[in-house]
Structure 1
């Protein structure tokens, strides 16, 4: 057992070193064997990867995660998670197969009762001293008390053809969540098409415009939009979204999360609409 633990520590430490150097995951075949035949891959980093949360086990009781729950460990020393409702973040120090997580900070949105229960359990299991174990594309974080968070590597969504739901408005160093009480039909969404256009809803009105994608950049042209008037909260979101989707920007996709940012720091964060939700009455 001691030999196995030392091997795991060396394996995870090597992965984290690669991640810190900017190495991306690939299809390499570096392997190590653990009990029960599990394969520990050396080409899946722990940090810098978008992880889908599969389940949480607390006090021996396993609970499935709500759709869209995710977690990411930043090589610079932060851990961020969304367990179905609020955004949660904390300082994180990674040493070998050990991750030390500081006191979490959370947004304060109201959620459904079952989601709140899961969020509380997952947040508790995310804190303190954690042991990380990689098996294939699965990551398990275990607390000193034996509670666990089970995660899977999240495959990156494609920019084109995906319906993106805007969740965050960026302004320099500030990130603001889109108000949770917006009517469902007013939640901003957008879709990029193969013909170099983008269309969707910006919070009140539907819009369409040019979006020239090259490498990691998107250059947005002037948008044509309908001219409805909505309550001020919705108009405020709309103005921020349209300002972000203007001119040259840089984009990144990690798992199901898209970030679009202009040189002045304005931008949006969006998540890929879960399968089956594309047929909503949302325009675009």
Structure 2
């Protein structure tokens, strides 16, 4: 499958209506009149908020296992993904109220269940929302009483994370790895910054190499590979991945997504494994 490689914003940046601030923590002590509200324990801006559940008409619906999320930045933008489609919009914060409008999103279909939930979440997010923060939890409540419950999720670290390889990138066009290579986290890389190495599997063969990490760059050494043969499509993808070695690549982490880019626009995309997948 070929897709245009995404930039750091899931959807193109939208002009900001106002800068975002921090929400007043739920239950925080009131200060003297005119004093600034107390900051919450977890800031709303700059945080990746994973959607846990959605309550509509008193019925709770758990988010699908697709890592739906919302984030707000200090330039007045809301962005994220509700399980299938990326979205972006304008956001304003006043006190404990977040107002989101001008939402634009991609238009893919991922099945009736996810499509229906996305439609409800999009409708709920659009407009004025009462926001409360408790610890690492954020609750957004609409005027109708529907609510979205979210949890802050820290970004993945380059070193020590099991990076599941998802696509080979050639000049900004990402081609998904063959299913047999990506299945059960077979194709993956793990960087050990202290040892200065990277190890893993490129879809067919295991690989080990030196890896010197500096600010935004990784100097990859000569790869040491096993000599198995696999299906032609797997071998083709692996051969492209091998070309990233013996060179210096740039890296960028977008929360739990890793982008490596080498010479001539060749690169790879990978996603941080969840705890269960990391043990495989």
TM-score (norm 1): 0.69
- After TM superposition, the structure 1 = structure 2 runs for residues 162-181 of structure 1, keeping only pairs within 5 Å, are 162-179=161-178
How many residues are aligned here? Answer: 247
* Conserved? CA contact 2:182–2:203, under 8 Å: no
Matched, 1:117 2:116: no
Other structure's SS at 2:277 match: coil
State the match for 1:58 in structure 2.
Answer: 56
1:125 Cα deviation from its structure 2 partner? 0.5
Matched, 1:230 2:222: no
Aligned mates of 2:115, 2:220 — CA distance in 1: 37
State the match for 1:9 in structure 2.
Answer: none
1:144 Cα deviation from its structure 2 partner? 6.0
Aligned mates of 1:251, 1:68 — CA distance in 2: 24
TM-score (norm 2): 0.69
1:247 Cα deviation from its structure 2 partner? 2.1
Return closer, same or farther for 1:174/1:229 CA change in 2, 3 Å cut-off.
same
Return closer, same or farther for 1:274/1:44 CA change in 2, 3 Å cut-off.
same
State the match for 2:34 in structure 1.
Answer: none
Q: Pairwise CA RMSD of aligned residues?
A: 3.7
Return closer, same or farther for 1:145/1:212 CA change in 2, 3 Å cut-off.
same
Cα shift readout 1:90-146 (whole Å, capped 9, x = no counterpart)? 232223322225353255667xxxxx6256414531356144525143333455654
State the match for 1:148 in structure 2.
Answer: 147
Tell me which structure has the larger Cα radius of gyration.
2
* Conserved? CA contact 1:34–1:40, under 8 Å: no
1:42 Cα deviation from its structure 2 partner? 8.2
* Conserved? CA contact 1:172–1:266, under 8 Å: yes
- After TM superposition, the structure 1 = structure 2 runs for residues 6-25 of structure 1, keeping only pairs within 5 Å, are 16=20
Structure with bigger helix share is 1
Other structure's SS at 1:126 match: helix
Structure 1 unaligned residues grouped into runs of 5+: 1-12, 18-29, 111-115
State the match for 1:89 in structure 2.
Answer: 86
